[in-house]
């Protein structure tokens, strides 16, 4: 499964051509998810309805992007500082569309606020169909190593019923196998490791190598 580059909800609502063009999906790419980000309920709900018209297999809400121009404005990982709003957005998007809705987020804002355990349960209660967790905080950006132990703790929580997808630092089939066995995740998402690597999917025995995968992400199940 692949995901599109994340799309600005505000730009979609304003019908910015370059953003709308990112919704184009070919059948060869399926299954495919379209990921959106934003900072208010109204624009995220409206954007989700627009995305649904492109007929993706799922709609993913990005609450994990750490870059300043996104998180600094309260979107992406910035939502980790406003969990009630994150939950309101998630709940209302789920209600507004028939397409399955998933979420991608991080462990928390910083090491003093590792909220993913409680947050995962609350997001599940909003009606999402799966949760992807990147094993870093927003403050870490992409530095240091991803902490898969907290991802594993969410997966082992008996109250969690939805699939848990792990993300962070997976660059080889061997690493993928290790995290499956050690942490029990339902799938892994590979992001930055695919950028500019034409034969990446072939290493994992999936997909086609006919074209670069950037900016798509690969989702690998057990």
Active-site residues: which are they?
A: 65
Residue 78 phi/psi, 5° resolution? -60, -25
Q: Judge whether 78 and 38 are in contact, CB under 8 Å.
A: no
101: enclosing H helix or E strand: strand 101-106
**Coil, strand or helix at 206:** coil
Distance CA 218, CA 137 (A): 22
Q: Is the peptide bond preceding residue 215 cis, with omega within 30 degrees of 0? A: yes
Tell me the two tokens of residue 181: 């066995």
Rounded to 5, what percent of the chain is helix, strand, coil?
40, 20, 40
Residues 6+ apart with CB under 8 A from 81: 74, 109
CB atoms within 10 A of CB 194: 19
């Amino acid at each position: 499964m692949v995901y599109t580059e994340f799309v600005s909800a505000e730009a979609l609502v304003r019908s910015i051509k370059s953003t709308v063009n990112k919704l184009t999906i070919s059948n060869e790419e399926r299954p495919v998810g379209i990921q959106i980000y934003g900072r208010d309920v109204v624009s995220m709900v409206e954007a989700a309805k627009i995305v649904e018209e492109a007929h993706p297999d799922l709609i993913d809400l990005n609450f994990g992007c750490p870059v300043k121009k996104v998180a600094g404005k309260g979107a992406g990982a910035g939502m980790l500082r406003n969990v009630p709003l994150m939950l309101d957005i998630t709940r209302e998007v789920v209600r507004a569309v028939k397409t399955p809705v998933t979420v991608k987020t991080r462990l928390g804002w910083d090491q003093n606020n590792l909220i993913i355990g409680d947050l995962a349960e609350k997001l599940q209660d909003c009606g999402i169909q799966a949760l992807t967790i990147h094993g870093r905080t927003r403050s870490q950006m992409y530095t240091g190593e991803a902490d898969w132990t907290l991802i594993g703790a969410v997966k082992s929580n008996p109250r969690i019923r939805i699939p848990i997808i792990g993300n962070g630092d997976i660059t080889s089939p061997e690493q993928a196998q290790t995290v499956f066995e050690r942490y029990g995740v339902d799938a892994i998402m590979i992001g930055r490791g695919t950028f500019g690597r034409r034969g990446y999917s072939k290493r994992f025995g999936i997909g086609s190598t006919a074209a670069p995968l950037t900016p798509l992400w690969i989702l690998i199940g057990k």
